[in-house]
Structure 1
Amino acid sequence: MSSRPYETYRPPYEPCGPSYEAYEAYDETAGTRETGEPEPSVPRQTRRGGARRGARRRRARSPERPETGVRRLLPQALVVACLAGGTTAFVAQDKAIELSVDGRSRTLHTFADDVSELLVEQGVRLGAHDTVAPAPGAALTSGDEVSVRHGHPVRLTLDGQRHALWTTARTVEGALRQWGVRVEGAYLSVPGSRPIGHAGLTLDVRTERSVTIMADGRARTIRTNAPTVGQAVEEAGVTLRGEDTTSVPPGSFPRDGQTVTVLRITGMREVREEPIPFTVRRTADPTLFRGTEIVERAGRPGVLRVTYTLRTVNGVRQRPRRVESEVVRAPRSQIVKVGTRPHPPSVRGTDHLNWQGLAQCESGGRPDAVDSSGTYGGLYQLDEGTWHSLGGRGRPQDASAEEQTYRAKKLYVRRGAGPWPQCGNRLHG
């Protein structure tokens, strides 16, 4: 169907009355029936003139019968009625409609019964995001207005949040108002009057927000569309110096009603040396009696150099913060030998003696006891030379209580109670 039906208009009817030629034939036939004589074969023009002259003669001879006049008027009445009915049908079906597509209006004539037929007739396609008013199924009457708005995609970043939206608005500002976005005081990446085409557009909007900046004991409330907290602080007339920062990341997006505190920071660095503990490594030694441990190599702690920052925030001293460290000297592990040899049987002739009483007198009963000079150690306060002569290893105070008693019994067999001049009498007590 044509996109402009009113330019290719054809009447919706065919003439229904007799033609002029049929009317003439009817008139001539009527004349023939009056005389009862056949009409001679003469040219059309001659026959028409002869018929008229014959009619005048007949009217002069006798009065006209009533039914003859009815026969003449009937064809004319049929023609007039048919023309009047066809014209009325045409006027009833033809409608003048104003069609607006994306703001462009034109007036057209159509035979469409409803909005859907009109849009199909005019080649207007509707998508999922398009709008049409009245609704597509609404009936049409002459004088109606039909408005079509196509949807356009918009990639909107609103206050840092991304959205994929559709709009039927013609301009950026119209789309924002359609979505309920406050335009007054807002930052727009494109002008608000820019038209939105079929391909859509990418739009960044930052609405105006109320932000309070607390700095140097004073509150400053501003309205801003700044993209970052740092820029909002600058708009409030506050300058950050040195290590100064804010209570929220300076690069974060400022929210409406947010309070941002400026942190004035002063600080210094301090270097400290801290010990690194050494580890103890134990190894089994079958030559030592069980319970005996000898330090083969003494451990040594390491040294760690640590750097701390000491900061003061708004006049309040903060806890030291460790920022870097360096090992100055690595620790040296301690090696300890642990005896696994079973204890020997008792020394003959010494089991009846009071070894517990002797140990209590010499060392208070403590296997690791050492005298004030550091020369004598263990339960029975033996020096290292005597200890080694009895088969012991290391220091007596490092051996188990069982081994110390065993060595002391061997010493008694050799020298009696002489090695213990002050407490030897306890052996028999």
Structure 2
Amino acid sequence: MLPNRRKWLDLWRKNATVAASGFLAISATTGVAGYEMAKDDVTLTINGKKQEICTYAKDVEELLEEQGIQPRKEDYVYPSLNTPITDDLHIIWEASKEVTLTINGKKKKMWTTADTVGELLRSQHVAVGPHDKVTPSLSAKVQKGMNIGIERAFPVRLNVGGKQQQVWTTSTTVADFLKQQGIPLGQWDRIEPSLQETVKAGMTVYIVRIKKVTDVVEEPVDFAVVTKRDDSLPKGERRVIAPGEKGKIEKTYEVTLENGKEVARKLLATRTIKESKPRIVAIGTKTVHPVASSGRPSSRGADQAAKEFYVNATAYTAYCEGCSGITSTGINLRQNPSVKVIAVDPSIIPLGSKVYVEGYGYAIAADTGSSIRGYKIDVFFPERSDAFGWGRKRVKIRVLP
């Protein structure tokens, strides 16, 4: 009996050990399964890259710490850091980037999660005018360490060739400003102020268009008057032997134009096209003895005709200012330039009288004038040069019967 009992006891002990081992194994398996069931499946997007993870974290902040992320206050985190972790939660984290924003030379560092430069400026409530210069462009992607610059545009008056308009610019110098506006400059153009001058708001920039052109003109050349003595003519009488002929020259000028208006003219060359021919005038030297008066009674006009007296004599032409070219007695001086005529005061020398004027010769009193009063006459010459040459003088006149 004893051997059988011992055998039974060994068998019982063996079964008990196996049972205990099985119980421990089941317990361990159940615990592991429970621990695994405590994990949450979430989606985490880091700077645009999505990943699926399982986590025991209690909230978003702990989850990010598990991933080695220490968010800055400027970072974008969604949902908030204290949001509890639940299954299928989608978490987004975008790291902020440090950039430098410079506006008209004033710098400011900042952190941002903006995707583009335009988005960054909107988030900072920075308005951009239509003429402002932004670098890089508003559509450029924001990069870490990026330098973003804004140059504020200001109004400037631009006067090109006399035509003025208002434009907007961000340029620093006149040269940059003209380049920005696409204004071409000619070789002689004048810029005011100078190209190196700093552009300021409200300034007027002038572009004076300068051109230099060649102008060729023809000009008449007056003829000379040559006198010669003639003893066949009564003393003082003049007779034109050769009328004279004007010459012609060609002058070449360099003309300077500013905004289309001539401001300077420089003579470059002169060429003779036609030589002038002198006027030749014969001056009488023959002495004429006056006819003695018969002593018969006569009218006032007859008394005057028998006398010689002195008068103040000037000269005129058919083309003088206010002259019609026709005498008060109807003689057309422009059509008859060789006629010898004097203007008189009819109360002194009757119209129609034949006279002899010292230094002028025989003539007819056929004209009057508003300034011819008393002992004064005006002698006619067809050419201005002769009239100027006569000038004003006191001469002796004799009224012929």
TM-score range, shorter chain: 0.3 to 0.5
Q: Relative contact order (C-alpha < 8 Å, sep 6+): which is higher?
A: 2
* TM-score w.r.t. length of structure 1: 0.35
Q: Compare CA radii of gyration and give the structure with the larger one.
A: 1
Higher strand share: 2
